[in-house]
Structure 1
Amino acid sequence: MTAPYDPTDREKVVAKLPAELRKELKVRAAELGKDIQDAVTEGVEAWRKAKGRPVVDTAGGTSFATYLPAGLYGKLKQDCKTRSVSYNQGIAQSIRLWLDSNPSPRPRPARVTGARRIIFGNQKGGVGKTSVSAGVAQALAESGHRTLLIDFDPQGHLTKQLGYPMLDIDEASLAKHMLKEAKGGLSELLVPIKGGDFEEHLWLLPACKDAFLLDAKLATTKAVRIKETALEKALEPVEQEFDYIIVDCPPSLGYSMDTALYYCRTRDGEEPNASGIVVPVLAEDSSADAYDMLYDQVQDLIEDMDIDIALLGFVVNMYDSRKGFVATSSLDEWRNIGEPPVLAVVPELKDQREAVRVKKPLLVHAPYGDQADVMRTVARRISA
């Protein structure tokens, strides 16, 4: 049978929906590994065939946007008119119908290895580790996962971009906890990130300038293996509070990176690829050179400590095909590697730059833009 519309021809649609319905949709879609636009499309198609659907309370609704096939969008508007319901109500009923028809899967068994640990690293600076790690953490939290986002870079770009102050150099910090120089618990340093549909599911561990001293102090310690295990020991007290711990790593190959790589290793009893490293890159040669150095560091640590570290994939950031052959051929080369795979390609758009400028999370500033959707794609792929 021929589809009444071309599924590749979609147009943006905007409705006013209550926050709880939006959150439920995003969580369920993530649980089932489905794009939000596909979930809404299925709901609209089912709603058009259904009769007598109950009214959904849309009071206090705020903006929600997605993409529907152009032909289906027009049919939905006509059906709403025929049934004497508002367009917002038609969308709300469609989503409610999809949720009712697609129940949450059975919860997975409780983890015995703590939170899943994903680090974002690349020796080269300026590739977007901070923006990608922050966006993916927001997307995971938006999907209902309790997520901790750690600024492990002494430059503190992540902390500042989200509008939070760095920890004072005389205060307790992650580095001091790693070196066993801090008083109090690490959980006292965590800050809830407000806004968006991820609120109450996302926390930040801010950066502190004392992290500049971390490599030197780790290098001079006499304790056996503290260089590799320091981050894990520091985070151990808070792990059971979270589903995911996301680490924005510094652009270096020093001891700090070693301890982050050890932290994301596959632990005994943990499923393959549950934790690991995501490598943000650009579609150009210097990113490839930097990845070669990072790959060598990973392999050296694997052999030295007899561990497994999963390379989860690349995120090609700030991609613009208009840059010509250098960009397009480089993207092809990243894809041709095969393993690890390219998880997603982030288009070069203004959304992220604007979010940084106004010091807001991307999924608050531009929650329905193409870059936000890519962050959700990466989150869905690493959580599958």
Structure 2
Amino acid sequence: MTAPYEPDDREKVVAKLPGELRQELKVRAAELGVDIKDAVTEGVRAWRADDTHRPLVDTTGGSSFATYLPTGLYGELKNDCKSRDLPFNQGLAQAIRLWLDTHPSPRRQPRATGARRIIFGNQKGGVGKTSTAAGTAQALAEAGHRTLLIDFDPQGHLTKQLGYPMFDIDDPSLAKYMLGEAKGKLRDLLVPIEEGGFGGRLFLLPACRDAFLLDAKLATSRTVRIKETALEKALEPLEREFDYIVVDCPPSLGYSMDTAIYYCRTREGEEPNTSGILIPVLAEDSSADAYDMLYDQIQDMVTDMDVEIAMLGFVVNMYDSRKGFIATSSLDSWKEIGEPPVVAVVPERKEQREAVRLKQPLLSYEPDCEQSEVMRTIARRITG
């Protein structure tokens, strides 16, 4: 089953493959920074060149899998399957298995500077900070990285969208740890997210109902000597447990945002652009006005604290070219900024809204949708 794919002189190939194999392919490709279509192409070519008998792959209960192979390779694969008396699905599954076996997961050494810290910030609400932070964290975990996702927004949208309760106002919370008001270990507040391919690698620190008081308390607290370091001090005990810490920031320019910006600074001994801020925006003028204010806040911190803050890029959310000139010209304007770059454009699609309604992670609800692929692209840009 094929269809022309002009841009890369490829053709679309659809097969039935087991979910476990598809998931392993996605994770390994993400770990190695390889596009799935290129991994499958390499596997098919290696399988064709090796005509020795290979063990059968269990394809029972397979579901639809689509990719793009160079034009003509599909027909060659089909002919080889016929000559080897194998169903096409089995031949493709063996080719993918061969690529996985010859491309092992890379070993990651512990980082001297702890977890890489990625914050999603924009003082304008409704630009998709929550969905992008969540999707990127899911993609990082799917790729094999231990990832902590933090709901740092007092409104708690991230916590609610994933189907978890917020901490009550009298419970221990991140805000209380930042203010020195909590006892015990912050680690005990983490919630594992087990759906999809994240098992054991993705954790959520839920929002708390008292977080809306954090700015005022940071301004008056005597126990917080340097307000900008409050978030870092609270999270420091967790950093050795994770490869990435992803923070969904509040839509504000207050002290809470200051602590998040400081937290993602480039630390001594840390390579440039390994931690930093991603800025979700919309393809419209109000997002540009909000970015100007955020930029000023970041530059003030850079000057006042003598630190380096890496602006990793813009994520243009909910983009729909059918909205006409406003959308397309605004997207062009974001791209023209150059630094920071536009790292991804997230299309306006129904899958994200459906996942939110069902309180499921996007990458487990609809792992093959276009939005999920964009989240993997963002994760690859971060890890690359």
Alignment TM-score, normalising by the size of structure 1: 0.93
Aligned length: 379
Shift of 1:112: 1.1
Which residue of the partner structure matches residue 351 of structure 1?
A: 351
SS of 1:197's partner is: coil
CA gap of 1:297–1:12, structure 2 versus 1, over 3 A, is farther
State the alpha-carbon separation in 1 of the partners of residues 163 and 110 from structure 2: 34
Which residue of the partner structure matches residue 308 of structure 1?
A: 308
| 1:106-185 alignment, distance < 5 Å | 107-185=107-185
State the alpha-carbon separation in 1 of the partners of residues 316 and 19 from structure 2: 34
Question: Does the CA contact (< 8 Å) of 1:145 and 1:201 recur in 2?
Answer: yes
Which residue of the partner structure matches residue 271 of structure 1?
A: 271
SS of 1:313's partner is: strand
State the alpha-carbon separation in 2 of the partners of residues 277 and 45 from structure 1: 40
Which residue of the partner structure matches residue 339 of structure 1?
A: 339
Most deviating of 4-13 and 36-45: 4-13
Question: Does the CA contact (< 8 Å) of 2:47 and 2:98 recur in 1?
Answer: yes
SS of 1:279's partner is: strand
Question: Does the CA contact (< 8 Å) of 1:122 and 1:290 recur in 2?
Answer: yes
Question: Does the CA contact (< 8 Å) of 1:55 and 1:89 recur in 2?
Answer: no
Most deviating of 137-146 and 66-75: 66-75
Q: Give deviations 1:31-68, integer Å, cap 9, x for gaps.
A: 32111222112212332332124124426655463412
Shift of 1:108: 4.8
State the alpha-carbon separation in 2 of the partners of residues 15 and 364 from structure 1: 18
State the alpha-carbon separation in 1 of the partners of residues 317 and 13 from structure 2: 24
State the alpha-carbon separation in 1 of the partners of residues 108 and 198 from structure 2: 21
Which residue of the partner structure matches residue 234 of structure 1?
A: 234
Shift of 1:5: 8.1
State the alpha-carbon separation in 2 of the partners of residues 14 and 221 from structure 1: 60
State the alpha-carbon separation in 2 of the partners of residues 34 and 276 from structure 1: 23
| 1:76-95 alignment, distance < 5 Å | 76-95=77-96
CA gap of 1:38–1:66, structure 2 versus 1, over 3 A, is farther
State the alpha-carbon separation in 2 of the partners of residues 233 and 188 from structure 1: 16
The alignment-based identity, stated in percent, is: 71
Which residue of the partner structure matches residue 257 of structure 2?
A: 257
CA gap of 1:133–1:79, structure 2 versus 1, over 3 A, is same
Gaps of 5+ in 1: none
Q: Give deviations 1:225-258, integer Å, cap 9, x for gaps.
A: 5320110011111110000000000111010000
State the alpha-carbon separation in 1 of the partners of residues 290 and 13 from structure 2: 38
Question: Does the CA contact (< 8 Å) of 2:281 and 2:316 recur in 1?
Answer: yes
SS of 2:210's partner is: helix
Most deviating of 354-363 and 48-57: 48-57
State the alpha-carbon separation in 1 of the partners of residues 367 and 147 from structure 2: 18
Please identify runs of 4+ aligned residues in structure 1 that moved more than 4 A.
Answer: 59-62
Question: Does the CA contact (< 8 Å) of 1:15 and 1:91 recur in 2?
Answer: no
State the alpha-carbon separation in 2 of the partners of residues 127 and 164 from structure 1: 22
SS of 2:197's partner is: helix
State the alpha-carbon separation in 1 of the partners of residues 186 and 60 from structure 2: 38
Q: Could you say what the CA RMSD is over the residues aligned between the two structures, in angstroms?
A: 2.0
State the alpha-carbon separation in 2 of the partners of residues 56 and 334 from structure 1: 50
Question: Does the CA contact (< 8 Å) of 1:18 and 1:60 recur in 2?
Answer: no
Gaps of 5+ in 2: none
1:370 aligns with 2:379: no
State the alpha-carbon separation in 2 of the partners of residues 167 and 14 from structure 1: 45
Shift of 1:345: 0.7
Question: Does the CA contact (< 8 Å) of 1:5 and 1:72 recur in 2?
Answer: no
Shift of 1:224: 6.2
CA gap of 1:268–1:47, structure 2 versus 1, over 3 A, is same
Question: Does the CA contact (< 8 Å) of 2:218 and 2:224 recur in 1?
Answer: no
State the alpha-carbon separation in 2 of the partners of residues 312 and 175 from structure 1: 26
State the alpha-carbon separation in 1 of the partners of residues 272 and 116 from structure 2: 11
Question: Does the CA contact (< 8 Å) of 2:153 and 2:249 recur in 1?
Answer: yes
State the alpha-carbon separation in 2 of the partners of residues 132 and 71 from structure 1: 37
Shift of 1:164: 0.9
Question: Does the CA contact (< 8 Å) of 1:42 and 1:98 recur in 2?
Answer: yes
State the alpha-carbon separation in 2 of the partners of residues 75 and 251 from structure 1: 54
Question: Does the CA contact (< 8 Å) of 2:13 and 2:74 recur in 1?
Answer: no
Shift of 1:125: 0.6
Most deviating of 190-199 and 25-34: 25-34
Shift of 1:182: 1.1
Letter aligned with residue 96 of structure 1: R
State the alpha-carbon separation in 2 of the partners of residues 186 and 325 from structure 1: 48
State the alpha-carbon separation in 1 of the partners of residues 111 and 297 from structure 2: 29
Q: Give deviations 1:105-160, integer Å, cap 9, x for gaps.
A: 4x354211110000000111111000000000000000000000000001111011
State the alpha-carbon separation in 1 of the partners of residues 88 and 297 from structure 2: 55
Question: Does the CA contact (< 8 Å) of 1:123 and 1:251 recur in 2?
Answer: yes
Question: Does the CA contact (< 8 Å) of 1:5 and 1:71 recur in 2?
Answer: no
